[in-house]
Chain A
Amino acid sequence: GDSVTQMEGPVTLSEEAFLTINCTYTATGYPSLFWYVQYPGEGLQLLLKATKADDKGSNKGFEATYRKETTSFHLEKGSVQVSDSAVYFCALLMNSGYSTLTFGKGTMLLVSP
């Protein structure tokens, strides 16, 4: 079945450091890919998405490129802030009807001043 694997956390960085959170997927077709962010005590917010190969999703300084050849969708940010501390979930959605999201286990990011 479909699955998403993302690096285990927590990832601990200092403010203004470069961030990479790895995400790879397994799917039988060509999914859409998402990154969601969850701040403490809150629900999930869509951070960015990409619907086809080579698409780059970007938002709030975060970027991720849909790489079909490596089945990856790594999340990057050039300079993290303390306010970026949260849990980040990579997810895929098969583009066939009302299919369900498949989530990775989440990666906690902790940014210190």
Chain B
Amino acid sequence: GAVVSQHPSRVICKSGTSVKIECRSLDFQATTMFWYRQFPKQSLMLMATSNEGSKATYEQGVEKDKFLINHASLTLSTLTVTSAHPEDSSFYICSATDLRAAYEQYFGPGTRLTVT
């Protein structure tokens, strides 16, 4: 149980286009989902926390107009990178918190974004 999926696993897009990444909790309801960004050989940087049905809370330094987060249901959150540029190339990982185990986070497999 407690499986989180991400789609796509890899995406290559051209500079200036937008890319949407989906994060789904497959077998549990997630009241809270988290989006992280990981640079090569570095730790995870929390970008934002999203609660179902409300606006996401962004960490300092993260542009909310560039990284649009929607958490429309208890099983789906999306991250849209708008007007992507090469510096947005990164590994994006989501995690979700189970209602029954409020403090534990379950991680998705990650999405590798490459902007050319």
User: CB-CB < 8 A to B106: which residues of A?
Assistant: 46
Q: Report the count of interface residues on B (CB-CB < 8 A).
A: 24
B43 touches A42 (CB 8 A): no
User: CB-CB < 8 A to A89: which residues of B?
Assistant: 43-44
B107 touches A98 (CB 8 A): no
- Encode A25-36 as 1/0 by CB contact (under 8 A) with B: 000000010001
The listed residue (A44, A95, A104, A106) touching B93 by CB distance below 8 A is A44
B109 touches A100 (CB 8 A): no
Given that A98-B102, A100-B34 are contacting pairs, would A45 and B42 also be in contact in the complex, using a CB cutoff of 8 Å? no
B43 touches A43 (CB 8 A): no
Task: Name A44's closest neighbour in chain B (CB-CB).
Answer: B107
- Encode B11-36 as 1/0 by CB contact (under 8 A) with A: 00000000000000000000110100
Q: How far is the CA of A95 from the CA of B105 in the complex (A)?
A: 12
Task: Say what secondary structure dominates the interface of chain B.
Answer: strand
Cβ of B77 under 8 Å from chain A: no
**In the complex, how many angstroms separate the beta carbon of B65 from the nearest chain A beta carbon?**
22
The listed residue (A32, A44, A49, A98) touching B44 by CB distance below 8 A is A44
A-B contact pairs, 22 of them (CB 8 A): A32-B103, A42-B109, A43-B6, A43-B93, A43-B108, A44-B44, A44-B107, A49-B104, A95-B103, A97-B102, A98-B31, A98-B51, A98-B97, A98-B103, A100-B34, A100-B49, A101-B46, A101-B95, A105-B42, A105-B43, A106-B42, A106-B43
Name B residues whose Cβ lies closer than 8 Å to a Cβ of A.
Answer: 6, 31-32, 34, 41-44, 46, 49, 51, 93, 95, 97, 102-110, 112
